[in-house]
Structure 1
Amino acid sequence: MNTLDLNGRRAVITGGARGMGFGIAEKILASGGAVDLWDINPALLETARQSLSSFGPVSARTVDVSDYASVEAGAKAASTAMGGIDILVNAAGIAGVNTPLADYPLDTWNAVLNVNLNGTFHTCRAVVPYMAQNDYGRIVNIASMAGKDGNPNASAYSVSKAGVIGLTKSLGKELARTGIRVNVVCPAVIETEMLADVTEEQIGYMLAKIPMGRMGSVAEIAAMVSWMCSAECSYSTGAVFDLSGGRATY
């Protein structure tokens, strides 16, 4: 595995028990960083912690990103465990359902917004003060091409990811005169367990829009995000990075 210089950096990764979060954690650990994994599923979280422990120092804690009190407690515990926080990767997310807006279940709409958008706000709000203590930080939010283009029959997901892009731009400008950088990556379809919640029709629609004609891999997004987490990513903030197989047009 190719590595970056993340020696001594301390990372909080939400949604770290599987998929993109797990892959990003593996890359950061292999590059010399320490990781505090957050997820809502304690069983999966412990399995992930054990699997990653051979790569470097990893701790794990059950955190519900949609609940600010849970996030606040998690940030305090993570900072204590690692001696501070330098990196935050917001990979926690849910897909919701694929259905026309007029039929979209209200409880599912709220759940998607609470995890994907409010969860990102909660973690940034709780973690930025720890980064400010050393005037250094890298925040990487995971959005989606759906947040730029809007996918049909995926209104809640599209809206939540558009909100993450707007939040990133706002916070990036807010912290631009500090040592903290805030950026967002917009993947197209990445091959993870989350696709189990997406219909075959919806997956086909998304793949048809990708000029490369394939899904992205966890390794590909981990490589991009890990660089965005490094000190080398110094002159980009509030920026949108695409990982779309050619789908992105702006």
Structure 2
Amino acid sequence: MARFALHALLVVCVLTSGCSLFGPDYTREDRAVEALENATSTHSATDTYRFESHMTVTSAADGRTERVDIALTGTVDVAARTLRQEAIRDSESRRTFVVNRTVYRECAPPWDGWAVEESDDTVQWVNRTPAVRQLSLLESGSLYWNGTETVDGDRAVVLTGEPSSDALTEYQDDQSRPLFGGPRIDGVELRAWIDADTKRLLRTELRFTVSNRDNSATATMETTFSDYGESVSIDVPSEARTNQYNLGCPGE
């Protein structure tokens, strides 16, 4: 359904519409910067992992309020330059595959087929993977060290960031389309739990609000990362290679 497509895109694309967020004065604590650099370096050398996300978007427009919950699961193989992701809302599921620079997106009913596009070849492939992309949000703007906590039995360093507008622009997905013209984004915060020993991401929480005229939305995305270095298998369905749309999915 079209509404599902819009809400699924909201969390990843509404951050990218060129809005003004914060002033020029940022606080970046030394310990937090060091932890971020270690985690980014570690993930750049990590071959495989899995991730799970839960997104909640509550929107208000034209006097109506709607809540949408979306689950994401995915597998990344950096060494093979392949990625698989599945987004699920209620009983509706849509898959995305990335093989090197080719992106296959499953189209929503009532259309069959897959949208096939080529991603930007000027960006290193690993920098488009979920863990590295979320860490990249913390590379500018304020960044704080919040001590350590225990996550599933592992000691984790906790970082809290307020991403800058430049970082949010860099977070743009190749397939993103802005839903509103020039929205205002407020209250953006990303918290990251990084394994104190392995320097790998264990968990992130991204929160923000967006508004434009009388329309507004609040969004949260909680992601866990696991199975680092485990064997994975990512196979693109045969229909994705034969039943294709070269100009995006119909209705988008």
Structures share fold, TM-score greater than 0.5: no
User: Which one has the largest radius of gyration?
Assistant: 2
Point out the structure with the larger helix share.
1
If the length of structure 1 is used for normalisation, what is the TM-score?
0.31
Q: Which has the higher contact order (CA 8 A, sep 6+)?
A: 2
Point out the structure with the larger strand share.
2
